[in-house]
Chain A
């Protein structure tokens, strides 16, 4: 019967002759970890990922000096309302607002020089805690409007203003600004939760 070590050929035969040294080498081979790292091993892959994350973090620290700055919360609310410009709101509550102040209805305390009373109108409309302020100025061939919505005295920028067939989103600081050849008789404001229709305005 052939000895099993012959299966490994000549080298194995040599090892067979030096059994003591061979056993020692075998034992060392068993305890010693391989030096070469395999790139496909999960551990090394993980190290690579960590290196990539570190590089990303270092890159953003060293190359982009300014941090990401957020616009104010009011502005973000305004941007959130953009879909309402194109789709009708599914508002939860509906309210009616009334005229609180109208400069055309009130007598001016002091007569303003150079400005005819019919050329400028200030209106204040309210519905509970919400107030809509409008200033209308008649230009040569059209009207120029500026408006703002307040919620309990603070500027509120999340409302869409519907005036004379136009749907408007406020710009920075919450101002609505538009021009038109016609004056709006019906004004509405709405957001995702609430819908307010104001009483009819007479411009004659």
Chain B
């Protein structure tokens, strides 16, 4: 159960503007990345993200399950992005027809994995600096680091790296549990 999201949503429903700001700051990356993944330019993706947030604000009272909000955001972004792509296609008279070419859109699975990635990255951000650095180097960096290099960067001996990693994984498990991405 994502307690953070449930509390935040309660505050939004009681018209707390700071809560809305927190939600926007937390999930704008996910929404924007979804729009980019669907094939929009940076500028169009920004407009699409704005449309998604406006839709959410307008329909906030009808959302029953705030835990499903990330998935809702992804699917709404997808819908808005398709509209924008169709508009671009119409303006440029492009022969490519988005309505018939379903392969051009990423499947929902990939978009939902984007949600998972966003959640894990957010959980890693909440860890103490040493754990954050460790996971960034181990899993989230484009370059592959050896254990020796990571140990050197973190200032621990290679023998101790295993126990540091286990401790950090434990802490990450606690955060992911709170967010509802790991079973209790």
Q: Return chain B residues, CB-CB under 8 Å to A49.
A: 170, 173, 177, 182
CA distance A67 to B113 in the complex (A): 11
Produce 1/0 per residue, A161-198, CB < 8 A to B.
00000000101110000000000000000001000000
Which of B37, B45, B53, B116 interacts with A56 by CB under 8 Å? B116
Interface contact B17-A75, CB-CB below 8 Å = no
Most buried by B among A49, A63, A66, A192: A49
Complex CA–CA separation, A194 to B117 (angstroms): 37
In the assembled complex, A82 has its CB within 8 A of some CB on chain B: yes
- Kindly state whether residue B32 has any CB partner on chain A within 8 Å: yes
Q: Is the CB of A60 within 8 A of B139?
A: yes
On whether the beta carbons of B121 and A82 are closer than 8 Å, the reply is no
B57 within 8 A of A: yes
| Interface size counted on chain A using CB atoms at 8 A | 36
> Does B164 sit within 8 A of A, measured CB to CB?
no
Question: Could you tell me if A79 and B114 are in contact, using CB atoms closer than 8 angstroms?
Answer: no
A50 within 8 Å of B by Cβ?
yes
User: Which among A52, A72, A83, A169 has the highest number of chain B CB atoms within 10 Å?
Assistant: A83
Given contacts A64-B110, A68-B114, A82-B20, contact A171 B50 (CB under 8 A): yes
**Residue of A with least CB distance to B141:** A61
Q: Taking CB as reference atom, which chain A residue is nearest B19? A: A83
Contact A54 B116 (CB under 8 A): no
15 residue pairs of the A-B complex, CB under 8 angstroms, read A46-B170, A50-B170, A52-B182, A56-B120, A59-B113, A60-B120, A60-B121, A71-B28, A75-B28, A75-B32, A75-B50, A80-B25, A82-B57, A169-B50, A171-B50
Chain A contact residues, CB within 8 Å of chain B: 46, 49-50, 52-54, 56-61, 63-64, 66-72, 75-76, 78-80, 82-83, 85-87, 169, 171-173, 192
